Chain A
Amino acid sequence: MTQQEALYKFALRLGDNALIRSYRLSEWCSNAPILEEDLALTNFALDMIGRAQSLLGYAGEIEGKGRTADDLAYKRNEQLFVNVLMAELPNNDFAYTIARELFLSVYEYYYFTDLAKCDDPTLAAIATKTLKEVKYHMAHSTDWTLRLGDGTEESHARMQDAVNKLWSYAGEFFEADVVDVMLTNALNTPDTPRLLKNWEDHTAAVLKEATLRTPSVPFIQHGGRNGVHTEYMGHILSEMQFLSHAYPDASW
């Protein structure tokens, strides 16, 4: 694998994480429990779309075959998407979405802090910009975790259930394959396995304050980063890519 190929896959993974998570967050539009949360979650989604545009645009540039961010979003099949599995899991209830956003935003807080210091100027610029937004996502999902965990019996039970169910998907964030290792060595991109302890400590502290138990289940769910997805992914794409399939190259 050349460094160019590694960089392409690296940018694609980050872009897909943002794109697919944006899709899930958008599903809350008009369905959130209160109007303010409808706005908040769709604001999250908007940030993710912006991030996906930057990263997929950059991936296309690195690849050098003239593919745009839109080409990469709308003209790839399931096995070619390389987002982490957690991003594609269904929203279920509000607690489940909040747990997912907490796990991902805490991870991204540490991840983008490090990526902002890497030696690739484009990735560093995207990370610097993204980090500002991630801080708001993390603060918001932390607030809700506390409120639901330390809330009523019902909200506590739902929040605990969400944390238990999502926990085993978090290990995938900290995997490092040949792509990651090559770029960590060459461009000082984040050494993800080293972020695990920060994430565990940070998340455990939030859960504890929210009177929730930190699960002890192992991190067994992974595969998205290599194109092996859950049964939900095909359904996302069939809807997300419908228009571009029905009306190829449609534009506003």
Chain B
Amino acid sequence: MVAIHPSRFDILRLLSTIPDPEIPVVSIEEMGMLRDVVIDDDRVEVIITPTYTGCPAMGLIEADILATLHKSGVKNASVRNVIEPAWTTDLMSDKAKAKLKEYGIAPPLHSSCNHEVFQHNEIECPRCNSKNTVMISRFGSTACKALYQCNDCKEPFDYFKCH
């Protein structure tokens, strides 16, 4: 019976294993993109939120969610994409930030982004922890990242921008 009628908690736990397609070391749950699950009789609706409005990974995430549910016997499922309240890097868990750093991406510096873009920030190199780094480009390989270089170990690295 459990397999046929999983609880909201069961489904959230199941979906929390889905990796972010662009940064596979973190899950969509750790990124704060998995908002909620609503169960109405045998119908399951999963609510997700995009990091950036044009995030090209949303279609893939939706397909991953439906495939994961399908495999677990949940056939009647849909995904709803909401933008309110707007996603922020505040939603990223500390565990996710630690994983980003481990992966070579400097995690977002502040808990809130509002003024970051207007000021100079010291971003720590995820490899050697030096604060002697320089921004190469405000826009990196994906919308959510900027490109930095470490002046000490000389390695270039991505910085996950506050948002």
Give the interface of A toward B (CB within 8 A).
Answer: 36-37, 39-40, 43-44, 46-51, 53-54, 121, 124-126, 128-130, 132-133, 135-136, 139-140, 143
Contacts and interface: CB of A to CB of B under 8 A. Distances in A.
Nearest to B49: A129
Nearest to A35: B137
Chain B, interface size category, equals: 20 to 34
16 contacts: A36-B139, A36-B147, A44-B139, A47-B52, A47-B54, A49-B54, A50-B50, A50-B53, A50-B55, A125-B83, A128-B86, A132-B86, A135-B118, A136-B139, A136-B161, A140-B139
A129 to B, nearest CB: 4
A46 B147 CA distance: 17
Nearest to A51: B53
A41 to B, nearest CB: 8
Contacts of A130: 53
B143 A46 contact: yes
Contacts of A125: 83-86
A28 to B, nearest CB: 12
A129 B86 contact: yes
Closest 4 pairs between A and B when the two form their complex, measured CB to CB: A50-B54, A50-B53, A125-B84, A36-B137
Given A36-B147, A39-B141, A136-B161, A46 B84 contact: no
B14 interface: no
Interface of B: 50, 52-56, 83-88, 113, 117-118, 136-141, 143, 147, 161, 163
Contact of B139 (A43, A49, A50, A135): A43
A125 B82 CA distance: 9
A153 B55 CA distance: 39
| Most chain A beta-carbon neighbours within 10 Å: one of B53, B83, B88, B136 | B53
A36 to B, nearest CB: 4
B117 A139 contact: yes
Given A132-B88, A133-B52, 19 more contacts: A36-B136, A36-B139, A36-B147, A39-B141, A40-B137, A46-B52, A47-B53, A50-B54, A51-B53, A51-B54, A53-B54, A125-B86, A126-B53, A128-B84, A129-B83, A129-B86, A130-B53, A140-B138, A140-B139
A43 B137 CA distance: 12
A139 B138 contact: yes
A139 B119 CA distance: 10
Contact of B56 (A46, A48, A124, A136): A46
A199 B161 CA distance: 26
Contact of A54 (B53, B88, B141, B143): B53
Given A128-B86, A132-B163, A47 B138 contact: no
Nearest to B141: A39
A87 to B, nearest CB: 16
A123 to B, nearest CB: 11
B54 A48 contact: yes
Nearest to B163: A132
Contacts of B113: 132, 135
B53 A133 contact: yes
A143 B139 CA distance: 13
